[in-house]
Structure 1
Amino acid sequence: MTLIVFAIAAAAEIAGCFAVWMWMRHEASSLWLVPALISLGVFAWLLTLAPSEFAGRSYAAYGGVYIATSLAWLWVIEKQRPDPWDLTGAAICLVGAGIILFGSRPV
């Protein structure tokens, strides 16, 4: 369930940042800021659902999922297929995120 929450949070964060990107970099209407604020608010709320005692650990694990979701965004929304270097880097990050999130901790 945690990975699903992280993936949805990543999509919300990327959508919010993309909306700001469109407004600032492509001179789109300032109305792009409305979905940006909503998406970024949803992103922040979703991260609070992560089952971790420490926010920093949760955010570190989320980072790996964010990278993978960013590459999916690149492919699906921006129509740019990730290259082997992108995929290798994302795989390494996901392994690291899994270790951080699911690693055994002393009680």
Structure 2
Amino acid sequence: MTGRSTLLFALAALLEIGGAWLVWQGIRESRGWLFVGLGVLSLGLYGVVAAFQPDAHFGRVLAAYGGVFIVGSLLWGVVVDGFRPDRYDVIGALVCLAGVALIMYAPRAAA
């Protein structure tokens, strides 16, 4: 279950961060409404992908995804915008991933 979940989190991050970046580019960098429209479409697909997480609890999935979003945003900045994270960015990202693992994959008693 964790393999599928991890893949869904990665795809969701790509869609959400990429969509937000496209909107940013369309508006802030004056690249036009096509960028904005593609960004909105990508953001909508993020919601669809998130709905396929195996865990049935929306709040848990979205809370865990918050940590994935933080890490993904830093990685996007490195790859796309030339951002260079400092050690505190890296430490913070690792803390977030530990939180994701606890929220999503900790053993729980059957309800």
Q: How would you bin the TM-score normalised by the shorter chain?
A: over 0.9
Could you tell me which residue of structure 2 aligns to residue 16 of structure 1? 19
Question: Which range moves more in the overlay, 86-95 or 16-25?
Answer: 16-25
Structure 1 unaligned runs (5+)? none
Percent identity, please: 36
1:44 to 43, 47, 52: 47
Tell me the amino acid that sits aligned with residue 64 of structure 1.
G
Quote the Cα distance in structure 1 between the aligned partners of 2:56 and 2:107. 13
Could you tell me which residue of structure 2 aligns to residue 83 of structure 1? 86
Tell me the amino acid that sits aligned with residue 24 of structure 1.
I
For 1:24-103, list aligned pairs within 5 A: 24-103=27-106
Structure 2 unaligned runs (5+)? none
Quote the Cα distance in structure 1 between the aligned partners of 2:81 and 2:106. 34
Tell me the amino acid that sits aligned with residue 30 of structure 1.
W
Is residue 64–residue 94 contact of structure 1 (8 Å, CA) maintained in 2? yes
Deviation track 1:63-94 (CA, whole Å, cap 9, x = no partner) reads 11111111110100001121111110000000
Q: Over aligned residue pairs, what C-alpha RMSD do you find?
A: 1.1
Count of residue pairs the alignment pairs up: 107
1:41 is displaced (CA, Å) by 1.8
Residue 41 of structure 2 aligns to a residue whose secondary structure is helix
1:106 to 90, 94, 109: 109
Is residue 3–residue 65 contact of structure 1 (8 Å, CA) maintained in 2? no
Tell me the amino acid that sits aligned with residue 109 of structure 2.
P
Tell me the amino acid that sits aligned with residue 5 of structure 1.
L
Quote the Cα distance in structure 1 between the aligned partners of 2:68 and 2:40. 21
Quote the Cα distance in structure 2 between the aligned partners of 1:52 and 1:2. 9
Tell me the amino acid that sits aligned with residue 77 of structure 2.
L
